[in-house]
């Protein structure tokens, strides 16, 4: 059986980092005798600027037939902010019902963190960001626009089913991690919200979390943090966290903080996951298209390689994923920095080294 993978290089440095990720996947495929085929799509700014088209219904239908999607980055200085983000990235998340955004926050040995005195053993957790609900649903509106009396609303929308399916994934992942490592098992699963102020949505999430935890996962320790406090603890005591679960916008914000403490956008990867049977997930580096570094062979492909590793893991190729991670670790130890232009290596050299070590 072959894994059919759709590849969207996208804009800016997207195609450069995706190229290195594919190099690494091909190396792993050779070593572990895995069959993969890649189908490249040209969605992104260039096509939009040329044709006015972002993606159409039939192309979304095509994407639903793949086993996974590998995405570089979207965003271009000549395209008004929001057009590609909403028209491509968010549209795919919604249409493919990728209701989990899984963002590991893991500090690898040799990688610099801005947190003084924190070591790899202190920063090793995951954030599960609900990925299809909340403020991202686009409910709201504006009236009297442009006048002194303008009113704008943007609603945080959640229903019990959307909350429950996200929590289910979080509890199951926590169970799996606890089996993997006693260090994880000693820590709770943490719900992050703002239920002292968001008394409707926060209450829904909190009750659903407590009910599911008590009923189906009584053996798992549960904890709750307000989002503002969680921000503080991510910086002060990241070692307290293992699996964190939160709603969409809070998850968006706190995972940028997570990316920074694990060494920056050069190393932070994520998966937009549809865990259901037949669901198609999409994996991407968390960094954007970085226009100012485009075409210079200086951008760090490590986050894209990490996304490829998560993708192959989700396809059941756990041995290959573990080998990629080991090769990533060894390469990061050799790099001067994880920041673009300061790596002591070029983009292609980083990819070559990871691929070579496999
Ligand atoms: C992210 C990004 C996106 C989001 C943007 C580009 C729409 O910030 O993946 O975290 O808000 O989800
Ligand atoms: Mn974000």
Condensed to tens digits (0 to 9), the pLDDT of residues 193-246 reads 999 999 999 999 999 999 999 999 999 999 999 999 999 999 999 999 999 999
Mutate to test the pocket of ligand 1, among 71, 88, 90, 271 (most ligand atoms within 8 A of CB): 90
The pLDDT of residue 84 is above 90: yes
Q: Which residue has tokens 């090769």?
A: 327
Tally of CB atoms within 10 A around 352: 17
CA distance 25 to 267: 17
Q: Is 68 left (phi over 0), alpha (psi -120 to 50) or beta?
A: beta
Q: What is the pLDDT of residue 166?
A: 99
Q: Which letter, b or e, does each residue of 270-290 get, where b requires 16 or more Cβ atoms within 10 Å of its Cβ?
A: bbbbbbeeeebbbbbbbbbbb
Query: Which residues sit with their C-beta closer than 6 Å to ligand 1?
Result: 85, 89-90, 252
| pLDDT (average), residues 312-339 | 98
Q: How much is the pLDDT for 129?
A: 98
pLDDT single digits (tens) 126-185: 999 999 999 999 999 999 999 999 999 999 999 999 999 999 999 999 999 999 999 999
pLDDT over 90, % of the chain = 99
Q: Give the DSSP H or E segment for 19.
A: helix 14-32
Choice from 12, 80, 82, 85 to test ligand 1 binding pocket (greatest atom count within 8 A of CB): 85
Give which of 24, 11, 27, 179 is closest to 81, Cα–Cα.
11
Euclidean distance between CA atoms 76 and 291, whole angstroms: 7
What pLDDT is stored for residue 329 in this prediction? 98
Cα–Cα distance for residue pair 187/182, rounded to 1 Å: 9
250 in Cβ contact with 229 (< 8 Å): no
**Cα 246 from Cα 257, distance rounded (Å):** 14
The mean pLDDT of the chain is: 97
Q: Are 130 and 247 in contact (CB under 8 A)?
A: yes
| CA gap 39, 168 in Å, rounded | 32
* β-bridge mates for residue 153, sequence order: 141
| Nearest atom, ligand 1, residue 90 CA | 7
Q: Give per-residue pLDDT as tens, 47-73.
A: 999 999 999 999 999 999 999 999 999
**What pLDDT is attached to residue 285?**
98
Predicted pLDDT at 21: 98
Ligand nearest, relative to CA of residue 270: 1
pLDDT at 1 over 90: no
Looking at ligand 1, which residue's alpha carbon is closest to its atom 10? 252
CA 125-305-71 angle, 5° bins:
100
Instruction: Please tell me the distance from the alpha carbon of residue 85 to that of residue 203, in angstroms, as a whole number.
Output: 30
Asked if pLDDT for residue 303 goes beyond 90, the answer is: yes
pLDDT in tens, 21-48: 999 999 999 999 999 999 999 999 999 9
């Amino acid at each position: 059986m072959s894994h059919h993978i759709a590849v969207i290089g996208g804009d800016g440095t997207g195609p450069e980092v995706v190229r290195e990720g594919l190099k690494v996947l091909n190396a792993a495929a050779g070593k572990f005798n895995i069959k993969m085929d890649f189908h490249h799509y040209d969605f992104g700014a260039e096509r939009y600027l040329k044709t006015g088209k972002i993606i159409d219904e039939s192309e979304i239908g095509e994407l639903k037939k793949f086993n996974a999607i590998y995405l570089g980055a979207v965003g271009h200085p000549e395209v008004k902010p929001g057009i590609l983000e909403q028209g491509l990235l968010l549209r795919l998340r919604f249409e493919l019902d990728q209701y989990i955004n899984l963002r590991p926050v893991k500090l690898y040995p040799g990688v610099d963190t801005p947190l003084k005195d924190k070591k790899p053993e202190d920063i090793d957790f995951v954030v599960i960001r609900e990925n299809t609900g909340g403020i991202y649903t686009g409910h709201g509106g504006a009236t009297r626009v442009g006048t002194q009396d303008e009113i704008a609303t943007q609603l945080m929308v959640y229903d019990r089913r959307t909350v429950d399916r996200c929590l289910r994934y979080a509890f199951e992942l926590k169970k799996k991690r606890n089996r993997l490592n006693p260090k994880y098992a000693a820590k709770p699963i943490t719900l992050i919200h703002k239920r002292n102020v968001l008394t409707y949505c926060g209450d829904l999430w909190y009750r659903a979390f407590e009910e599911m935890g008590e009923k189906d996962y009584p053996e798992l320790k549960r904890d709750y943090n307000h989002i503002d406090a969680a921000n503080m603890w991510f910086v002060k005591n990241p070692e307290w966290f293992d699996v964190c679960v939160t709603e969409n916008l809070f998850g968006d914000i706190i995972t940028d903080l997570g990316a920074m403490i694990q060494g920056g956008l050069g190393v932070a990867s994520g998966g937009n996951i549809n865990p259901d049977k037949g669901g198609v997930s999409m994996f991407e580096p968390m960094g954007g298209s970085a226009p100012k570094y485009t075409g210079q062979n200086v951008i760090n492909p490590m986050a894209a390689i990490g996304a490829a590793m998560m993708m192959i893991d989700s396809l059941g190729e756990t041995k290959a994923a573990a080998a990629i991670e080991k090769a990533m670790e060894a390469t990061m130890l050799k790099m001067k920095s994880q920041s673009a232009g300061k790596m002591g290596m070029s983009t292609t050299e980083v990819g070559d080294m990871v691929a070579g070590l496999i």
